[in-house]
A and B are shown apart, each in its own frame.
Chain A
Amino acid sequence: MEFLRPQTWAEALAAKAELPGAVPIQGGTDVMVEINFDVRRPPALLDLTRVAELARWSAEPDGRLRVGAGVPYARVISELADRLPGLAQAARTVGSPQIRNRGTVGGNLGAASPAGDSHPPLLACGAVIEVESAARGVRAVPAEEFYLGVKRNALEPDELIKAFVTPVAGGPQYFSKVGTRNAMVIAVCSFCVALHPAERRAGTGIGSAAPVPLRALAAEEFLAAELDWAGTAPLAPALLTRFGELVGAAAAPIDDVRGTAAYRRHALSVLARRTLTWAWNDHRKAAERCA
């Protein structure tokens, strides 16, 4: 197995074009596990840790944030929690401190595991994934079009993930994840809700409960129709229950070693109710302060 160490983004793209089978590696938290399990033996690993620009984040002219694929979870938590709270909460649930120092959102996207913790907040926030090839340049792929199947994403063989671009939170966001231990656990299922008060809608993301991470579209439509954005009343129990049901119904879970399909659906409903309650209560408080 070759180990390629490009120093610049251009070199990285050139290497990927030359050897499309090369597997990019950042923290290695997914790649190395697969190699250890002998799931695959790629002809080469493409080490992107020396490409400095991947480890940076910045504000775009339109106010959105552009976060390099190599920014580790630990920095998402320490530097971006105020602007991307849902993603920061999700990052906090990843592995151990050592893994959060190494692992990256870019790696999560590259692995495209349905259980990846970054995916629900990226979906709920309306993030766009920036991918690039030497031959065709940059392409922007909306998160919900990025996940194609279990561990399959929209990358062409010669493309690399450069960054994701996401709006700064315009309202409360909450991420929740069920695992059978209280830390260092892979999601049995996970959920993120992001309120977008300016647009009078809420975004959602479901993880580990379908072949791909996905939005609960019917649940989002339901909230867009039912939420009283001008009001400051608590949410009616019936609304929360219905929202939970719609989120559970949006999932397509399976029985596996981590949990049963029935439990995943049930747990998603509970997570949906709770996270929406927290988000709405925050929103009410903010609205009351403004009033």
Chain B
Amino acid sequence: MTGIDTRAAEGARSAQGIGQSAPRPDGVLKVTGEFAYSSDLWLDDMVWGATLRSPHPSALIRSIDVGPALAMPGVLAVLTHEDVPGDPFYGLERRHQPVLAVDRVRYQGEPVALVAADHPERARRAAAAIVVDYEVTEAVTDARRAAFDPACPRVHEEGNVLRHQPVRTGSVFEAPVVVSGEYEVGMQDQAFLGPESGLAVPAEDGGVDLYIATQWLHVDRDQIAPCLGLPAEKVRLTLAGVGGAFGAREDLSMQVHACMLALRTGRPVKIVYGREESFFGHVHRHPARMRYEHGATRDGRLVYVKAEILLDGGAYCSSSPAVVGNAASLGVGPYEVGNVAVDAYGVYTNNPPCGAMRGFGAVQACFAYESQMDLLAEACGLSPVEIRRRNAVSQGSHLITGQLIDAPAPLADMLTELESFPLPATTGTGSDLRDLPGGVSQTTRGEGVRRGVGYGVGIKNICFSEGFDDYSTARVRVEATPDGPHALVHTAAAEVGQGLVTVQAQIARTELAELGVEEVTLVPADTSVGSAGSSSASRQSYMTGGAVKTACEAVRERFRELAAGHPGLSPAELVERFGPLEETREYRHRPTRPMDPLTGQGDSHTQLALCVHRAVVDVDVELGLVKVVELAAVQDVGRVLNLLALEGQIHGGSAQGLGLALMEEVQVVDGRVRNPSFTDYLIPTILDMPPMRMSILENADPAAPYGLRGAGEPPTLSSTPAIAAAVRAATGRPLPRVPIRPQDIALP
């Protein structure tokens, strides 16, 4: 088709294999503003879709009058739930989320009706002209009440607890030293820069082609097709330019809507959310309320941990059950402890739906258990590093689920290395304002500023867990060109900014070197090849990397057979004479097991990854403003595939954790979002994110391709508690909640 830049990645210009900092093929385009994102998709005859959303967190719909919208000039279609061609519900884990609200709305921002018009502004105005008669009902907004008060209204018929996962092991719940605390994590947003957007094009076969920014093309298709009443093969998805994801594109947003409008109007339909709509158009990180009790010997060895972790899933299920599973199984962190009683709950409320975000359930628990480890250190008279080192897991340890850690996990050594990094110099008065809390806003010239240092440790599961059949597919084709053998790599894996396209090409160059392959072209990701699984759970280097490696090996195997039979021919001659050589392979990681529903026991995880952070902060204790002076991290990645991209992941993950520690929160009051904009939802700037000192370890995991360990999420876990601990050290305040607000420090 014309008019769409499907953005075939350019062939790599230099022969750079794994371990090299190969440059991104899309890097220059992105920094010069020329990269085509999904919001840039364009066809000359396209029309624009807009969505009418519920203003209420909870209401019954008495009637919907689309007449005023239909009467407006330029309006081609106005659709409600009655127009959904197939299944009116979709969802990642439970198909219960209405494509368009049926008889009630369960959260503010829930889609109610759709408009297609010849201009985006006309579409928006027509959507606003639709008259919906609501009967407002009591909104359930308190997660604790939703979970434990039998008198609380039910958000769904199944009840408000969508998953309760206990973990039980051991029987000793007494110890000489006991510390306890209640902790809270606010609702973080993924805050990707490219809002939800895509273009649906009706096809001659009655199907639809959807160009879309997403994290997993096939699971999108598998949800979209039933709603459209179409067989899967008639719903073809191609990845459009993705402007960040971080979990927020795991759930559907405008996919079904755009396809419905395209099929109804017979025209290509583009939908682009604005920034405000985006805050209502995707799930957020689950806010959490957590109660922890740690018992230890006087010399600081853990005896037991009791924990209650309450995760507010909001109005629909999304991926909440898996988030609960992570929070439960990783609920005490990477520490050896023989007696555990953890209860993790995911609950329905009429708050915004929550689901996947980088760290996925492990982030919330990490803030609580690390806060507890600091309390324990103080109670035992030990340093924060020593308490962690004394209890650290290592290869051969067991998680609280009973799972053996069978790969290297040198946590104690990582902590020792982290502690050995030199500390940054103390900020003097009269120095550059940008180095002080408050920055150029000039709130202090040193008055009230105190330094604090804190440590954080996190453990994250890599790849999908709990028995999920997780795989990726790659098709590799080597063909002759005038410049020599050339490789085409085709997967459906979503490049969401993490650099997967670079790594796939590096793997192909490495594995196909003996075929003389230097040029690698990545075919645009689409559903004409098998599923690659999601760009989530830090899994794509492992899974799609593994699939590309396996497919390349299969091509290489055929090549070797040909070479053996024709010893006189060069690689180029072999490919020219017998090519193209094409192989498609699926790659699976080792199987995982479900968690026992009563005890949580089971080998539920594929791989485990560790990151440790030290934060150094300067806090203006009178105003409660914080300057993070330095973040230092040690992370074990098994094997470095691309150092530059990896360092970027660690910087970015650490920055996202900094945001959660100090500023990022979707403020929800009575079910309503109060700050749906980047004016008031603050993410760290370059003046908030400090320089990082990093040590990257390569203790290979023998079960993983190249020994690699997924790297995107772990730094997001540990930077938050490290910063919180540093602020506590500077202020002496308990600070049981993140983000830490200025008034929490200044007016406790």
B445/A278 in contact, CB under 8 A: yes
- Residues of B within 8 Å of A182, CB to CB, are 434, 437-441, 625, 627, 685, 687-688
Interchain nearest-CB distance for B595 vs A (Å): 38
B443 near A183 with CB under 8 A, answer: no
Is B746 in the interface zone, CB < 8 Å from A? yes
Measured CB to CB, the nearest residue on chain B to A1 is B121
Closest beta carbon of chain A to B42's beta carbon, Å: 21
**CB-defined contacts of A274 to chain B, threshold 8 Å:** 443-445, 447
Q: How far is the CA of A277 from the CA of B448 in the complex (A)?
A: 14
Q: A257 to chain B: which residues have CB within 8 Å? A: 667, 674-675, 680
What's the Cα separation between A274 and B674 when bound, in Å? 32
Q: Which of A174, A183, A260, A278 contacts B688 (CB 8 A)?
A: A183
Q: Does A254 contact B (CB under 8 A)?
A: no
CB-CB under 8 A for A178 and B625, given A92-B440, A93-B441, A259-B742: yes
Asked if B741 lies at the interface with its beta carbon under 8 angstroms from chain A, I say yes
Q: What distance in Å separates the Cβ of B369 from its nearest Cβ neighbour in chain A?
A: 26
A69 at the interface (CB under 8 A from B): no
A260 to B447, CA, bound (A): 23
Q: Give the one of A174, A176, A263 with max B CB within 10 A.
A: A263
Taking a contact as CB atoms under 8 Å apart, the answer to whether A37 and B276 are in contact is yes
Report Cα–Cα, A266/B742, bound state, in Å: 11
B442 at the interface (CB under 8 A from A): yes
Complex: how many Å from CA A234 to CA B286?
Answer: 52
Point out the residue from A178, A259, A262 that lies within 8 Å of B438, measured CB to CB.
A178
Complexed CA–CA distance, A181 and B191 (Å): 16
Q: Kindly list chain B residues whose C-beta atoms are within 8 Å of the C-beta of A175.
A: 442
CB B223 to nearest CB in A, in angstroms, measures: 31
* A 227-281 contacts with B by CB, 8 A: 257-260, 262-263, 266-267, 270-271, 274, 277-278
- Which residues of chain B are within 8 angstroms of A87 by Cβ–Cβ distance? none
Stretch with Cβ within 8 A of B (4 or more), from A144-152, A184-192, A198-206, A214-222: A184-192
Is A179 close to B, CB under 8 A? yes
A178 touches B623 (CB 8 A): yes
Answer yes or no: A290 CB below 8 A from chain B CBs.
no
Shortest C-beta distance, A53 to chain B (Å), equals 30
Q: Contacts A182-B688, A188-B742, A258-B680 given: A177-B747 contact, CB under 8 Å?
A: no
Contact with A along B379-421 (1 / 0, CB 8 A): 0000000000000000000000000000000000000000000
Q: List B contacts of A266 (CB < 8 A).
A: 743, 746-747
Complex Cα–Cα for A183 and B663 (A): 12
| Distance, CA A43 to CA B677, complexed state (A) | 25
Q: How near does chain B come to A250, taking the closest CB pair, in angstroms? A: 18
Would you give the 0/1 interface string for B683-722, flagging 1 where the beta carbon is closer than 8 Å to chain A?
Answer: 0111110000000000000000000000000000000000
Query: Does A78 touch B at the CB level, under 8 Å?
Result: no
CB pair B442 A174 closer than 8 Å: yes
Q: Kindly report which residue of chain A lies nearest to residue B439, judged by CB atoms.
A: A182
Q: Are A271 and B688 in contact (CB under 8 A)?
A: no
Taking a contact as CB atoms under 8 Å apart, the answer to whether B742 and A263 are in contact is yes
A260 contacts B743, C-beta separation under 8 Å: yes
A36 to B662 CA separation, bound complex (whole angstroms): 28
Contact among B275, B622, B663, B682 for A270, CB-based, below 8 A: B622
The yes or no answer to A101 lying at the interface (CB within 8 A) is: no
B597 within 8 Å of A by Cβ? no
When chains A and B are docked, how far (Å) is the Cα of A156 from the Cα of B443?
Answer: 36
Interface of chain B: mostly helix, strand, loop or mixed: loop
A268 to chain B, nearest CB (A): 10
Query: A117 — nearest CB in chain B belongs to which residue?
Result: B441
Complex: chain A residue closest to B675, CB-CB: A257
Tell me if B445 and A183 are in contact (CB < 8 A): no
Answer whether residue A89 sits at the interface, using C-beta atoms and an 8 A cutoff: yes
Q: Is the CB of B746 within 8 A of A89?
A: no
Residue contact B743 to A262, C-beta cutoff 8 Å:
yes
CA distance A92 to B663 in the complex (A): 22
**Chain A CB within 8 A of B170 CB:** no
The CA of A14 and the CA of B439, in the complex, are separated in Å by 44
What is the CB-to-nearest-CB distance from A98 to chain B, in angstroms, rounded to a whole number?
13
B231 at the interface (CB under 8 A from A): no
Which chain B residues numbered 631 to 681 have a C-beta less than 8 Å away from chain A?
A: 662-663, 667, 674-675, 677, 679-680
User: How distant is A155 from chain B, measured CB to nearest CB, in Å?
Assistant: 24
Question: When the two chains form their complex, are residues B441 and A186 in contact, meaning their CB atoms are under 8 A apart?
Answer: no
Which residues of A3-57 are within 8 A (CB) of B? 33, 36-37
Q: Mark B429-440, 1 if CB is under 8 A from A, else 0.
A: 000001001111
Asked if residues A176 and B742 are in contact (CB atoms below 8 Å), the reply is no
Shortest distance from the beta carbon of B183 to any chain A beta carbon, whole Å: 21
Report A-chain residues with C-beta under 8 Å of the C-beta of B687.
Answer: 181-183
Please, what's the 1-or-0 string for B261-292, where 1 marks a CB less than 8 Å from any CB in chain A?
00000000000001110000000000000000
| A-side contacts of B445, CB under 8 Å | 274, 278
Given contacts A178-B625, A182-B627, contact A36 B274 (CB under 8 A): yes
Contacts of A278 in B (CB 8 A): 445
Nearest B residue to A38, CB-CB: B124
Q: Given B441, B447, B622, which contacts A179 in the complex, CB threshold below 8 Å?
A: B441
Tell whether A177 pairs with B685 under 8 Å between CB atoms, given A188-B742, A257-B680, A263-B743: no
A37-B677, A179-B441, A257-B675 known; A184+B685 contact, CB < 8 A: yes
For the complex, what is the distance from the CA of A93 to the CA of B518, rounded to whole Å?
A: 50
Q: How far is the CA of A270 from the CA of B276 in the complex (A)?
A: 34
Give A92 to B688 CA distance when docked, in angstroms: 16
How many angstroms from the CA of A250 to the CA of B688 in the assembled complex?
32
B383 to chain A, nearest CB (A): 29
Contact at A180–B438, with CB atoms within 8 Å? Answer: no
Name the CB-closest residue of A to B437: A182
Are B746 and A185 in contact (CB-based, < 8 A)? no
- Central interface residue in A180, A183, A257, A260, by most chain B CB within 10 Å: A180
13 A–B pairs (Cβ distance < 8 Å), ordered by A: A37-B276, A175-B442, A177-B438, A178-B625, A180-B742, A181-B662, A182-B438, A182-B440, A182-B625, A183-B440, A259-B741, A260-B747, A270-B623
**B residues touching A (Cβ–Cβ < 8 Å)?**
274-276, 434, 437-445, 447-448, 622-625, 627, 662-663, 667, 674-675, 677, 679-680, 682, 684-688, 741-743, 746-747
The 10 closest A-B pairs by CB, nearest first: A182-B439, A263-B743, A183-B687, A177-B441, A182-B687, A257-B675, A183-B685, A93-B441, A181-B682, A257-B674
Q: Can you name 18 extra interface pairs (CB under 8 A) apart from A181-B662, A182-B434, A270-B746?
A: A33-B679, A175-B442, A177-B442, A180-B663, A181-B688, A182-B437, A182-B439, A183-B688, A186-B679, A188-B742, A259-B741, A259-B742, A262-B743, A262-B747, A263-B742, A263-B746, A274-B443, A278-B445
Chain A residues near B (Cβ < 8 Å): 33, 36-37, 89, 92-93, 174-186, 188, 257-260, 262-263, 266-267, 270-271, 274, 277-278
